[in-house]
């Protein structure tokens, strides 16, 4: 499994690398997810996107308080998910870990369903959004749930293990929230926001690129 991107204006690789290693202990695989497993999200949606928007588009955010913009720029320091990944990987009931990137948390939830060959029900109202993210996105008319979200981590966790996962994350000073559930494949991928249930589809373009 890999990750490939295309960037306009670049016709040659800048940095190319790979890693190889041997597994140690259990391997978390998407195909191990089961119907009824819970979807857990650490931190908040749109962390990386918030830092980029506050840094690169400050001229369009004149109505956002300068103090809040400064805090938003510092979101770049929250991008590592190593702490929560180490905590979660040691909990037997954690089946899958996935880091949201382009397309945000909603796109990452759809990716979970695809990889697990299961349906997904996302309770979008439960997805945590920081005040800084909310204000920046509101000022630029962007959807924080579809905004680049490196810095948070999704986990598929058994119902019996979810409370323990939240508790251990809190002990490590990482907030977490249950935002959905895995369902049968026939149900498809869906999300509910403000009482309205909608079909969850791949996000064709990250909100960030709407400003490019």
pLDDT in tens, 90-115: 999 999 999 999 999 999 999 999 99
Token pair in block for residue 201:
């589809």
Q: Count CA within 13 A, CB hemisphere, residue 141.
A: 3
Q: Would you state the pLDDT for residue 18?
A: 82
Token pair in block for residue 73:
């720029």
The rounded mean pLDDT for the chain is 94
Q: Would you state the pLDDT for residue 1?
A: 53
Structure confidence by residue, pLDDT tens digits, 13-32: 778 788 888 888 788 989 99
Token pair in block for residue 184:
């049968």
Q: Would you state the pLDDT for residue 15?
A: 80
Instruction: Kindly provide the residue ranges of all beta strands, DSSP E only, lying in the chain, ordered along the sequence.
Output: 38-42, 94-98, 119-123, 154-157, 176-183, 189-193, 196-199
Count of beta carbons in the 10 Å neighbourhood of residue 143: 14
The CATH superfamily assigned to 30-46+80-130+144-203 is PurM-like C-terminal domain (3.90.650.10)
According to DSSP, the β-strands at 38-42 and 119-123 are: unpaired
pLDDT higher than threshold 90 for residue 151? yes
Contact 83, 174 (CB under 8 A): yes
In the predicted model, what is the mean pLDDT of residues 47-73? 96
Token pair in block for residue 34:
């089961």
Positive or negative torsion for Cα 82, 169, 88, 154: negative
Residue ranges of domains in the chain? 30-46+80-130+144-203
pLDDT higher than threshold 80 for residue 178? yes
CA pair distance 48, 62, nearest whole angstrom: 20
CA pair distance 154, 43, nearest whole angstrom: 10
Please return the burial class of 83, using the count of CB atoms within 10 Å of its CB with bins 0-12, 13-18 and 19+.
middle
CA pair distance 104, 152, nearest whole angstrom: 10
pLDDT band for position 44 (50/70/90)? Answer: very high
pLDDT band for position 150 (50/70/90)? Answer: very high
pLDDT band for position 4 (50/70/90)? Answer: low
CA pair distance 133, 147, nearest whole angstrom: 9
125 phi and psi, to 5 degrees? -65, -20
């Amino acid at each position: 499994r890999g990750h490939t991107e295309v960037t306009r204006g670049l016709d040659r690789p800048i940095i190319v690398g790979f890693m190889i290693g041997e597994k140690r202990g259990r391997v978390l695989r998407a195909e191990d997810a089961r119907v009824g497993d819970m979807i857990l999200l650490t931190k908040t949606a749109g962390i990386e996107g918030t830092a980029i928007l506050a840094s690169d588009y400050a001229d369009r955010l004149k109505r956002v308080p300068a103090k809040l913009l400064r805090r938003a720029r510092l979101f770049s320091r929250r991008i590592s998910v190593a702490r929560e990944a180490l905590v979660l990987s040691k909990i037997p009931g954690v089946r899958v870990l996935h880091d949201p990137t382009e397309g945000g948390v909603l796109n990452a939830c759809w990716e979970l369903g695809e990889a697990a060959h299961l349906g997904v029900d996302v309770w979008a109202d439960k997805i945590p959004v920081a005040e800084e993210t909310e204000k920046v996105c509101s000022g630029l008319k962007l959807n924080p749930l579809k905004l680049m979200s490196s810095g948070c981590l999704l986990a598929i966790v058994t119902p019996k293990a979810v409370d323990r996962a939240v508790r251990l994350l809190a002990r490590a000073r990482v907030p977490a929230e249950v935002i959905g559930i895995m369902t049968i494949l026939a149900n498809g991928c869906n999300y509910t926001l403000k009482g309205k249930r909608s079909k969850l589809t791949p996000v064709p373009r990250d909100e960030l690129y709407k400003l490019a």
